[in-house]
Amino acid sequence: MPYCAYCGSDVRDPARFNCPSCGNPHNGAPPPAPIQNAGETKAVSIVLILVVVGLFVVAFVGILAAIAIPNLLTAMQRSKQKRTMADMRTVATAIEARATDTNQYPRVTSYSELGPQLVPTYMKTLPALDGWSHGLRYECWDANNSGVCDSYAFGSGGKDGAFEHASLRDYSEDTSTTNFDCDIVYGNGKFVQWPSGTTSR
């Protein structure tokens, strides 16, 4: 009488492949791989699908972020430029109005000293900072040696706050720029250096 190679039980029916006691092949062959439950297979498939979909979503969001973030940052910098230019136009209007009354531009050595010259007669408040929270700069000159300030300029150092020239007088030509670090300078009734893409000077 044959015996099971796994459990040693006697096998009454040698024609049967599996041992009735342990269920393994009684001749010592390796046991068959267990058949996976259909429910487990479905659960694994769902998990794999969710992982793949999640990877696609992450990739899609990453692509959108790579496109949108630079555009958002550029738009933010452009809005700071426009705000700075709008404030500078307001200040220039007040300076020109005062010059009409006094026949000269304010003779001061810094932008902050413009406040008492312009407020409250010509404007409500003097903007203290540009769109990037940097201080503005003002200069006036007696170009005709008449003893009064007959020309002026004031400006913003741009995003980096650093002026490119030692004097605002050095900005002598009309120049547009696309660099956010470049200065924005207004002098004698117009912008001398300004961001390109703006509709007017």
Q: Does 92 reside within a domain? A: yes
The predicted pLDDT at position 27 comes to 67
Give pTM, 2 decimals.
Answer: 0.69
The predicted pLDDT at position 13 comes to 67
Q: Does 95 reside within a domain? A: yes
Q: Does 37 reside within a domain? A: no
The predicted pLDDT at position 198 comes to 53
Sheet holding 190-195, edge to edge: 137-141, 151-156, 184-187, 190-195, 175-177
- Which residues are registered as beta bridge partners of 177? 195
The predicted pLDDT at position 153 comes to 95
- What CATH number does the domain containing 97 carry? 3.30.700
Kindly give the confidence (pLDDT) of every residue in the chain, 201 residues in length, as a single tens digit, with 9 standing for 90 and above: 676 766 767 767 666 667 777 777 766 667 666 655 666 778 888 889 999 999 999 999 999 999 999 999 999 999 999 999 999 999 999 999 999 999 999 999 999 999 999 999 999 999 999 999 999 999 999 988 888 999 999 999 999 999 999 999 998 777 777 789 999 999 989 999 988 755 455
The predicted pLDDT at position 25 comes to 74
- CA dist 73 and 121 (Å) reads 38
For tokens 């150092």, what's the residue? 157
The predicted pLDDT at position 196 comes to 73
- CA dist 156 and 81 (Å) reads 9
The predicted pLDDT at position 17 comes to 67
Structural domain count, the chain = 1
Q: Does 170 reside within a domain? A: yes
Domain, as residue range, for 182: 81-195
Q: Does 57 reside within a domain? A: no
Q: Does 12 reside within a domain? A: no
The predicted pLDDT at position 28 comes to 62
The predicted pLDDT at position 176 comes to 79
Q: Does 50 reside within a domain? A: no
Exposure class string for 128-160: b at 16+ Cβ within 10 A, else e: eebbbebebbbbbbeeeeeeebbebbbbbbbbe
Q: Could you please report the per-residue DSSP string of 17-71?
A: SB-TTT-SBTTSPPPPPPPPPHHHHHHHHHHHHHHHHHHHHHHHHHHHHHHHHHH
The predicted pLDDT at position 78 comes to 92
Q: Does 38 reside within a domain? A: no
Sign of CA dihedral 169, 173, 174, 179: negative
